[in-house]
Amino acid sequence: VEPDVVTDVLIVGSGPAGASAALALSTYGVPNIVVTRYASLADTPRAHITNQRTMEVLRDLGVEEEVVAKATPQRLMGDTTFCTSLAGEELGRIRSWGNDPLVQAAHELASPTRMCDMPQHLMEPVLVDAAVARGTHLRFGTVYKSFVQDDDGVTVTVEDRLRGDEYTIRAKYLIGADGGRSQVAEDAGLPMGGQMGVAGSINIVFDMDLSKYTAHRPSTLYWVLAPGATVGGIGAGLVRCVRPWNEWLIVWGYDVTAGAPDLTTEYAESIVRRLVGDDEIPVTVKSSSAWTVNEMYAETYSHGRVFCAGDATHRHPPSNGLGSNTSIQDAYNLAWKLKLVLDGTASPRLLDTYTAERAPIGRQIVTRANKSIGETAPVFEALDGLSPQTPEQLWANIAARKDDTEAAEKQRAKLREAIAFKVYEFNAHGVDLNQRYSAESSSAVVPDGTPDPGFDRDPELYHQPTSRPGAKLPHAWITCGTRTLSTLDTVGRGRFTLLTGIGGAHWLRAAGAQDLEIATAVIGPGQQYEDPYGDWARLREVADGGALLVRPDGYVAFRHATAAASLEDAERLLTGAVRRILGHG
C-alpha cells in the first residue's frame, strides 16, 4: 500500500525534544514533519531552567537572542528562599543558578551564553516558529498510533483528530519525542531501568501579585516548609515564579498510594493560600494537574530506524532543572548524525553513537534529580520537622531556633549547613556542563592516547573544560577584526570545523581533502582570528600548530597535540579519524 505522505524524518511530539529536533534538522536542510497530539503547543509553564549548554545550542540554531528577550534573566533567578510561607518566616536563602559571585565568574568563564528562566510555554513557540520558517511541516491534532519498519524506512499510522480518520506517513527515520508516556518508546521496545510513580505531585498555575513577598529576594524558587510538605512531592512545597512577580506555579505533594486529590478550584486555592500565607491578595487559579515523580531511564535510545529523545528516554522530577535541557541536547546530538547519514556522507553506524553518548547522561540526570529531592530532608531534620507531628509542634520546633540556648545555636548551624548543601540542586554548574562522551563507547570520538584527566574538583559543582576528544570545545573570547566572538561561534551550523593556529598548514590542507565538508578556523597573530587575551592558548591543551576537529554539536572529535610532521601525516591521521567518525572505519 502506498503511504499517503513521504518525508525524511518524522518527529512525534512538539515539546522541547521534538521542536529542537525539527529546528536542527530544518536548519541542516533535512525534510521533516512534526505530528503532535494537541491543537496547541504547551499551555502550561512546565520546564523553565535553561542552562548554558542549552543556550549554546540555541545560539548555534540562531534563536538565542529571542529566548533571552523573552526569558527571565539570570539575575532575577537566584535568591532561592526557604520559608514557612511567602508571608511567613524566612529560614534562610541560597544563592542559586550562577548568582553566587564565585559561581557567576565560573559561568562567565565557561560559556558565551547566560543561564535564564524560559518557561516551556514560551520556549516551544520560539523553537517551533523557527523550525517551521526553515521548512518543518507541523501537524497539530495528529496522534501517533503505530509504526512498522523495514530496511528502508518506517511507515507510521497517525490519526487526524479533527477529521477523525487515519493516514500513513513514510519516513526514513522516526523520532519519538513524545514525552514521559512515550508510545513510540514502548512500541520500539526500548529497555527501561528504574521505576515510575515514586511519589505524587500536583502543579497549580495561578496569577497573583506577590511582589511584596518576592521582589526584595528575587528568585525562581521559594521553598515552603509547612505541615504536610514532606508528603510525596519534591521535598517541600514549592512556589515557582513563572513571570516576575505575578504569575506562579505551585508544586505540592500527595500520598501516591492514596491517589491524587480532587483538583477543584477551591482545593487549589486553599493550597495557594497555605503556601503564600496571605488571604487578602486576589488570586486566579488558571489550571491544576497531578503528576508523579519518576525515576526511569532507557538503556537504549533506538531500535532500527526509530530513535527516542527527551522524556521518552529519561523521566525524573524537575529538581536541578534538567528536563528540557537534556531533551534539547539529545535532539541536537541526534540531528547532525541523521543529516550525515541521510545525505550519504556517513554510514548508519554513526547513529549507534547516539545511545552510546546520550544514554549514560540520561541515567546520570535521572539519578541526580531524584537525589536532590532526598537532600531537602536535612532542612526539615534541622528543624526536627520530619517525624509526624501536629502543626503546633512543627511551628514550635521552627521557633525554637531563635532561643538563646546551646541547643538552638546547634540547630541554627545545622539549618545553615542543610540549606548550603542544596548547592547540589541549585548551583551544580558541573552537572550542567561537564558532560563528556567516551571514545571507548562512541566511535564518533577518536581517542588521542591521553589519559582521562578526570576532574580536579567536585565534578557536580565545578565545570572543568578540556579539549580532550569527547568534551565540549572550551569557550574562549577571541577576535576577528573589531568583532569579539567565542571559539564556540567558529563551530556548529551543521558542519565539522578544524581549529588550528600558526604551523597548522598541513592540517588545513588535509581538512580540505576529506570527503566531508570541514570548515576551518585559524587562531593566532595575523590569522583569521586572534587570541588577544591568551585565553584560548591557556585552554586549548595543544600547541600552536596542533589540531582540534570539532563536530557540528561543538564536541571535540579528534585532537592532535602538535603540528603534523608532513602533509601525508596530516592526511593519514585526519582521514583515519573521519573514517572512524563517519562509521566507515
Site residues for ligand FDA per CB under 6 A: 12-18, 35-38, 44, 46-47, 120, 143-144, 177-179, 183, 203, 289, 291, 310-312, 318, 321, 323-324, 327
| Residue 361 CB contacts under 8 Å (≥ 6 apart), including other chains | 326, 329, 435
- Give 311 or 571: the residue with its C-beta nearer to ligand FDA: 311
Three-state DSSP class for 54?
A: helix
Residue pair 60/492 in contact by the 8 Å Cβ criterion: yes
- Minimum CB separation from ligand FDA for residue 241, in Å? 12
Contact call for residues 558 and 549 (beta carbons, < 8 A) = yes
Smaller CB separation from ligand FDA, 142 or 500: 142
Give 160 or 384: the residue with its C-beta nearer to ligand FDA.
160
Contact call for residues 240 and 203 (beta carbons, < 8 A): no
Contact assessment for residue 250 and residue 240, using Cβ atoms and an 8 Å cutoff? yes
* Closest approach of ligand FDA to the CB of residue 466, in Å: 29
> What's the closest the beta carbon of residue 178 comes to ligand FDA, in angstroms?
4
Which residue's CB is nearer to ligand FDA, number 111 or number 120? 120
Report the alpha-carbon distance of residue 330 to residue 21 in Å, rounded: 8
Q: Which is nearer to ligand FDA, 329 or 411 (CB)?
A: 329
The residue among 8 and 330 lying less far from ligand FDA, judged by its C-beta, is: 330
Grid cell digits, residue 75: 539575575
Q: Name which of 44 and 347 has its Cβ closer to ligand FDA.
A: 44
Identify which of residues 179 and 465 has a Cβ nearer to ligand FDA in the complex. Answer: 179
The answer to whether the beta carbons of residues 333 and 356 sit under 8 Å apart is: no
Nearer to ligand FDA by C-beta: 112 or 310? 310
Determine how many CB atoms are found less than 10 A away from the CB of residue 248. 27
- Residue 36 CB, nearest approach to ligand FDA (Å): 4
In whole angstroms, how close is the CB of 147 to ligand FDA at the nearest point? 11
Return phi, psi of residue 17, to 5°: -70, -50
Torsion of CA 124, 130, 132, 134, to 10 degrees: -150
Least Å distance, CB 225 to ligand FDA, is 19
| Nearest approach, Cβ of residue 294 and ligand FDA (Å) | 10
Tell the smallest beta-carbon distance from residue 341 to ligand FDA (Å): 22
Instruction: Kindly list the distances between the CA atom of residue 167 and the CA atoms of 6, 143, 260, in Å, as whole numbers in the listed order.
Output: 11, 10, 36
Shortest Å, Cβ 46 to ligand FDA: 4
Which string of b and e fits 126-162 if b means at least 16 CB within 10 Å? bbbbbbbebebbbbbebbbeebebeeebbbbbbbeee
Q: Which DSSP string corresponds to 416-428?
A: HHHHHHTHHHHS-
Contact 583, 348 (CB under 8 A): yes
- By beta-carbon proximity to ligand FDA, the closer residue of 313 and 443 is 313
Grid cell 505524587 — which residue? 200
User: At 206, is the secondary structure helix, strand, or coil?
Assistant: strand
* Residue whose CB is less far from ligand FDA, 54 or 85: 54
Q: How far is the CB of 570 from ligand FDA (least distance, A)?
A: 41
Rounded Cα distance, 192 and 314, in Å: 9
Q: How far is the CB of 25 from ligand FDA (least distance, A)?
A: 15
Judge contact between 536 and 484, C-beta under 8 A: no
Instruction: Determine the Cα–Cα distance for residues 286 and 205; give it in Å rounded to an integer.
Output: 5
Four-CA torsion 467, 468, 473, 476, nearest 10 degrees: -10
